[in-house]
């Protein structure tokens, strides 16, 4: 009996709970369930759970004529780079996932992507727009546009529609996402309006809550627009302080504004402002509206960009698994097959738009959306901008 028990234990460790049980596909989620931006983690998990329930409720994912149930594993990265790396290692080496969705923010996605690529495991971020996330990493993908596209879109919108000749920028210099996006915005705004047209380029550091010194310099420079590509929890502080100090001009944001929490924190101060993002919930149609209605019915809230992009990122992984044609049960082999299927995906009809990969990079070809925050606090569609 003792020998039998030892044999069973050896077998258990020799064949750990891998990406595939007999009829199971395991996918990991590296998301911030705690920390500074917990709404990002909440929306990611809610969207993933809704998709999992939909697939499993229909009998599972059909791969080569065989049905597989989905098993999603969620690990909290606390919105910290080190924790995101540890979460990636736990999912890839410990949980033996076939693929990893997230991290979402670029500050966590960039280091976690290195881990995923080194371990030859597919990673897809829904919300990381910094080019470094996928650069020279063939196993890493994203479901969103890049900052080198978003920055010029914001600069062009500020110039052509807000009629701005002078701009100011305020951003967190210690965070990859706003730092990179601010650099792209500045470069393109000055390309459109001439050298020196960015009249103030002010920085702060993560966790700062008093921006009065920077905003005083910005107001003194008399910009026509203030661009601040910060996360939804920081935007209300910046906007409120800018108004209190006397700035009355438009404040333009980026996709990091697009959280369901923004208006609860910002209120009237953010109404009438614009930001570049991935989709507009108000006035959505077709499959996008169906997703929004189902999400709202289940979770009693409108899904934000992160929720929508997580749905698309996870959906692309599932579509690529089906594209593999069969699952061998050899994890390294199946991870490589999934990577090849992802890299050659064409015209995936996501709810945030149609997406294709060119086989060379993990960056999708897709459009951006300009959203206006209405007087009701809704994120309304203003225009679509395509590459």
In tens, the pLDDT along 235-254 reads: 999 999 999 999 999 999 99
Rg of the chain on CA atoms, in Å: 22
The pTM (predicted TM-score) of the whole model is 0.85
Average pLDDT for residues 178-205, to the nearest whole number?
Answer: 97
CA distances 228 to 235, 240, 387, Å, are: 8, 13, 23
pLDDT digits 0-9 by tens, 289-311: 999 999 999 999 999 999 999 99
Does residue 217 register a pLDDT over 90?
yes
Does residue 159 register a pLDDT over 90?
yes
Does residue 381 register a pLDDT over 60?
yes
The answer to whether domain 147-277 has CATH 3.40.640.10 is: no
**Do 74 and 31 touch, CB atoms closer than 8 A?**
yes
Q: Residue 282 — very low, low, confident or very high, per pLDDT cuts 50/70/90?
A: confident
Q: Output the pLDDT for position 22.
A: 60
CA neighbor of 93 nearest in space, from 19, 11, 20: 19
Percent of the chain at pLDDT > 90 equals: 89
Q: Residue 386 — very low, low, confident or very high, per pLDDT cuts 50/70/90?
A: confident
Within the chain, all domains assigned CATH 3.40.50.2300 are found at: 2-144+286-366, 147-277
In the CATH hierarchy, which top-level class contains the domain 2-144+286-366? alpha beta
How does strand 274-277 pair with strand 368-373?
A: antiparallel
Number of Cβ within 10 Å of residue 14's Cβ equals: 7
Q: Report the first-to-last Cα separation within the chain, whole angstroms.
A: 67
Distance (Å, whole) CA 56 – CA 85: 29
């Amino acid at each position: 009996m003792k020998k039998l028990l030892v044999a069973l234990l050896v077998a258990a460790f020799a064949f750990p709970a891998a990406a595939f049980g007999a009829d199971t596909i395991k996918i990991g989620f590296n998301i911030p369930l705690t920390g500074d931006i917990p709404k990002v983690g909440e929306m990611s998990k809610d969207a993933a759970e809704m998709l999992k329930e939909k697939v499993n409720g229909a009998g599972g994912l059909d791969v080569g004529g065989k049905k597989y149930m989905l098993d999603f594993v969620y690990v909290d990265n606390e919105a910290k780079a080190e924790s995101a790396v540890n979460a990636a290692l736990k999912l890839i080496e410990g949980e033996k996932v076939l693929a990893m969705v997230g991290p979402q923010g670029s500050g966590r996605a960039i280091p976690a992507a290195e881990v995923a690529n080194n371990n030859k495991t597919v990673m897809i971020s829904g919300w990381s727009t910094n080019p470094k996330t996928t650069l020279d990493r063939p196993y890493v993908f994203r479901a969103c546009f890049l900052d080198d596209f978003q920055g010029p879109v914001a600069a062009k919108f500020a110039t052509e529609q807000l009629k701005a000749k002078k701009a100011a920028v305020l951003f967190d210099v210690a965070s990859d996402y706003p730092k990179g996006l601010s650099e792209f915005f500045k470069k393109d705004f000055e390309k459109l309006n001439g050298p020196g047209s960015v009249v103030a380029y002010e920085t702060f550091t993560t966790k700062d809550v008093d921006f009065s010194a920077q905003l005083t310099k910005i107001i003194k420079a008399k910009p026509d627009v203030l661009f601040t590509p910060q996360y939804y929890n920081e935007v209300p502080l910046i906007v409120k302080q800018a108004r209190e100090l006397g700035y009355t001009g438009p404040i333009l944001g980026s996709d990091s504004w697009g959280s369901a929490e923004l208006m609860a924190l910002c209120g009237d101060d953010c109404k009438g402002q614009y930001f570049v993002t991935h989709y507009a919930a108000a006035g959505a149609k077709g499959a996008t509206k169906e997703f929004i209605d189902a999400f709202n019915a289940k979770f009693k809230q409108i899904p934000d960009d992160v929720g929508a992009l997580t749905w698309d990122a996870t959906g692309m992984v599932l579509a690529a698994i089906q594209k593999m044609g069969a699952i061998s049960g050899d994890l390294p082999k199946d991870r490589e097959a999934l990577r090849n299927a992802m890299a050659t995906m064409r015209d995936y009809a996501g709810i945030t738009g149609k997406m294709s990969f060119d086989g060379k990079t993990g960056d999708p070809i897709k459009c951006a959306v300009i959203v206006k925050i209405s007087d009701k606090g809704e994120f309304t569609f203003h225009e679509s901008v395509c590459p």
